Chain A
Amino acid sequence: MKSNILSMLSKQALLTFTVSLVLFGPISGLILDGFSFKNELLKAVSLAAVVTAGRVVISLFQISAIGRKLAAGLASGHNGITVKTGQEKSPLFILVLLFIAGLSLPFFADKYFLGIAILALIYCLLGLGLNIVVGLAGLLDLGFVAFYAVGAYLLALGSQYIGLGFWGALVIAPFLAGLCGMILAFPVLKMHGDYLAIVTLGFGEIIRLVLNNWLEFTGGPNGASVPPPTVFGLEFTRTAKQGGVPIHDYFGVSYSADYKFWFIYIVLFLVVCIVIYAVERLRVMPLGRMWEALREDEVACRSLGVNHVFTKLTAFMLGASTGGLAGVFFAVHQGFVNPTSFTFFESALILAIVVLGGLGSTVGVILAALVLTILPELLRDFAEYRVLVFGILMVVMMMWKPRGLVRIKRPAFFPGEAGRGLPAGAEVRQ
């Protein structure tokens, strides 16, 4: 047994050493010097030795008890979906704790961190919205950023042309974005998979190009400025500009630019909580179930009398509405919008959040949104490698956890007392 392990280890070590020598040899072993080259093979050999040592350590860890347990934990649950047993403890306590912690964040965080937190919450909203479309209803949408842009530009242009404020935009944005979602969805919902993805991609680009080129109306590449928010007529600027009273005068405290961000953060946090609640409810509602059923098998859905076009339409509209909400917060946080914020890369990032979080899992999407917005900030020092790290993360995820970070738990249902002895001809239609 022992010699068996030893021979396996040495085989692995030899293979790793050879491969890394082949890789490192030309890259760091030969250094160009004019038309000739210097031979620094020792450097390559030492690099290969380090890699080999690392490989041996990983192998040793894998055959240790802890490693085995970890591997078993990763492998269990073949597709990452389980049904609850109905005996789980209610997570209410943790949720309340998280809620309070989230609300009190502005009092501890500095301005820089609060900015990141706001951005992370905006991506949470976007992720939750796209999760409805891609994760629940299974419609691949590559142009989600269009609805984000609709929300953002609604506030910017609305204030410019008709004097729309933050609160007005917050109410109108979901409806306008939902309407845009409906306009897009009507012609394309008969399409499936890849075709739908291409059409939505096109739609996203159309919106961006219109914003970019309609100079007289949108300001084109110069963008449009967004007024700061107000609350009950109180303003967050040093001196009142919108006919109200500055908030620091009203409360008799000294001026600080942070108040605006505190306010945005708290409103955004509450909106995110409401959306999370609604999405979690959707999963145990007939509408959400129909979306998931459509994702699983459209033909079967039709055979059960589900109007598939209408059901897809609702998914598209609700997803778009959430995206529109996020857009309003983005605009008011930045104080300025221009089309470069709404490129395809943004759509891809949101899609990455949904896929990374596990299609359909709310907790997963929130975690992924936090990771994907906070991680780049932490990696500021390696700014050039950020996209590389991001890419590697995606590849590794898809190889090891293709169903996302968080295991999806399906709700359990149990019959009520009245369920026993239902009359024999229990018809659905009365």
Chain B
Amino acid sequence: MRVPILEVQNVTMRFGGVVANRNVSFNVEHGAVTALIGPNGAGKTTMFNCITGFYRASEGRIVLNAESGPQDIGNLVTRRITGGSHLVTRAGIARTFQNIRLFKDMSVVENLLVAQHLATTNSLLSGVFRTPAFRKTERDAVDRAYYWLEQVNLVSDANRLAGELPYGRQRRLEIARAMCTGPRLICLDEPAAGLNPSETHDLSDVIQRLCADHDQSVLVIEHDMGLVMRISNHIVVLDHGEVISDGTPEHVGNDPAVVAAYLGVSEEEVTV
């Protein structure tokens, strides 16, 4: 078995006296879809923000096994002066947001071009004088943007404003934008929230294609159990900030603790 792409080791996250995550450990497998599920307030999004570097976990380690060797997310975030969540993305973790965060007044292609700022020639002078290197990287970036638009079926909307797109397309555009950063692991925060059944179906196609065609590792938070059961290879269930179940969809679906958490029955009653 390959080394997992992301290892979450005994992570605890506290906000003052409130413990959002307690001693959470799980792995995200390479080239597979891992789903993080749980009832509302279970600490899923907090966990997500720790992984993507928006929070610094109070205790524990989150390690990304990138090509260049393992990297501790916490160290990237707290590095002096230059540190921050942008380094986490540069290390290879891209994310989308629960409430879509596109650059609404920019065109769809521009949204994707911003995501490729590491590959383009950013120097002021080369841009003003249009050096050959600048033009080449810019052309490549546009081509790559169109490639990802094709992957999520948005080519026809390429030169529209991102804010004008229907909701479902905005969701797919956000995934394309995250993919344009060339991530090792893409984290999707409730990608199906607010979508109708046919849009959800399109979305699950897109996610499965990411895994199958691009060997992309995916971590997804989702409430739509139909979608989760259909696409994921591995499910982690959180409740009250703790992992209560971890395994294949069949294992988790039959786990009494998970049923209890979702139906709101106390554990003793179920196990008796």
Decide: B182 and A428 in contact? CB cutoff 8 A: yes
Determine if A285 is an interface residue (Cβ-Cβ < 8 Å): yes
User: Which one of B104, B118, B120, B128 lies within 8 Å of A429 (CB-CB)?
Assistant: B118
- Chain A nearest CB: distance from B23 CB in Å? 27
Instruction: Answer whether residue A257 sits at the interface, using C-beta atoms and an 8 A cutoff.
Output: no
Residues of A contacting B195 in the complex (Cβ-Cβ under 8 angstroms): none
Contact B215 A419 (CB under 8 A): no
Which residues does chain B contribute within 8 Å of A302, judged by CB atoms? 54, 84-86, 89
Which residues from chain B contact A84 at a C-beta distance below 8 Å? 159
Contact, CB under 8 Å: A300 / B90: no
Do residues B86 and A308 form an inter-chain contact, with CB atoms below 8 A?
A: yes
| Complex interface bits, B85-113 against A, C-beta within 8 A gives 1, otherwise 0 | 11101100011010001111111011101
Our count of residue pairs bridging A and B at CB distance below 8 angstroms stands at 158
Decide yes or no whether B22 CB sits under 8 A from chain A: no
Q: From known contacts A81-B161, A305-B86, A428-B182, infer whether A297 and B103 are also in contact, taking CB-CB under 8 Å.
A: yes
Interface check B181, CB cutoff 8 A: yes
State the CA gap A379–B42 with chains docked (Å): 66
Interchain CB contact under 8 A, A79 and B105: yes
Contacts of A12-35 to chain B: CB distance below 8 A = none
Interface string of B6-29 (1 = CB under 8 A from A): 000000000000000000000000
Determine how close the nearest CB of chain B comes to the CB of A321; give it in whole angstroms.
Answer: 11
Q: Is the CB of A290 within 8 A of B117?
A: yes
Chain A residues, Cβ within 8 Å of B95: 303
Q: Are B144 and A426 within 8 A (Cβ)?
A: yes
Contact call B107/A410, Cβ cutoff below 8 A? yes
* CB neighbours of B181 from chain A (8 A): 304-305, 428
Say yes or no for A83: interface residue by CB 8 A criterion.
yes
* Residues 113-130 of B at the A interface (beta carbon under 8 Å): 113-122, 124, 127-128, 130
Give me the interface of B with A, judged by CB distance under 8 Å. 52, 54, 82, 84-87, 89-90, 94-95, 97, 101-107, 109-111, 113-122, 124, 127-128, 130, 139, 142-147, 158-161, 177-178, 180-182, 213-215
Binding site for B on A (CB under 8 A): 79, 81-86, 277-278, 281-282, 285-287, 289-290, 292-293, 296-297, 299-309, 314, 318, 410-416, 418-419, 422, 424-429
